[in-house]
Amino acid sequence: MQVHCAPPHLLAALLLLLAAATSPALAHNITRLLAGHPDFSTFNQYLSVTHLAAEINSRTTITVLAVSDAAMNDLLAEHPSNATLKNILSLHVLLDYFGSKKLHQLTDGFALAATLFQSTGSAPGSSGLVNITDLKGGKVGFAPQEGGSGDVGPYYVRSVEEVPYNISVIQISKVLPSAVAAALVPEPTQVNVTDVMAAHGCKEFADVLSNSSDAMKTCE
């Protein structure tokens, strides 16, 4: 049987197609992207504190609505818990790509975007959705769906970073107002390990642990 080999240029083309099909999507790192913009350092810090940075990095098509340090300081002045902060900031992560060009070319001048807050299941009804409205004259407004489609909140300020159709980071004028996201969320209950052990017949061992500061630190 005679075996015919494909021409070298055809083999090369097939290899390129195979590589493109099997290679992962371009990864992004929101912490590194924002590190080059010191005016978002507080926002960047709390994306890490609330573990939202890892969730953002795991997505392939996403838009982050970043706010300045001044806007973050206004939010932090209310002393929200980390759990509440996570809800508020997750409302600023849209599960779609909105670059500067797309924002100013919205179909019928309006778009409704789902957010990470909506995807957690913590947002009742449509409170985890964000209305985006092209107000013309270069202005684009953002508002949580819970306030009604007629409300316009913070405005688009500028594009910070864009990796087309992968991740867009844009600045908005202030934190999105949301009574639902800002509702007090209790911190996780701290469990006293020695009390649990004592209640289950291990009081002597629990007493030994209680008297060892190093052991207690390990159990915390």
Quick: pLDDT tens for 144-173: 987 654 556 799 999 999 999 999 999 999
Res. 199 pLDDT band, cuts 50 70 90: low
Edge-to-edge strands of the sheet including 129-136? 110-114, 129-136, 139-144
Residue 9 above 70 pLDDT? no
Residue 84 above 80 pLDDT? yes
Whole-number pLDDT of residue 126: 81
Whole-number pLDDT of residue 138: 80
Report, as an integer, the average pLDDT of 185-189. 52
What single-letter DSSP state applies at residue 155? B
Q: How far apart are CA 143 and CA 100, in angstroms?
A: 17
What single-letter DSSP state applies at residue 6? P
Report, as an integer, the average pLDDT of 32-37. 96
- Backbone angles phi and psi of 113, in degrees to 5: -115, 135
What are the beta bridge partners of residue 131?
112, 143
Three-state secondary-structure class, residue 130 = strand
- Domain covering 21-182: architecture: Roll (2.30)
Residue 134 above 70 pLDDT? yes
Q: Domain map of the chain by residue range?
A: 21-182, 190-220
Report, as an integer, the average pLDDT of 5-28. 52
- For the chain, the distance separating the N- and C-terminal CA atoms, rounded to the nearest angstrom, is 72
Cα separation values, 6 from 10, 54, 133, 184, Å: 6, 45, 55, 66
Q: How far apart are CA 98 and CA 165, in angstroms?
A: 8
- Backbone angles phi and psi of 130, in degrees to 5: -125, 130
> Which distant-in-sequence residues (6+ apart) come within 8 Å of 137 by Cβ?
none
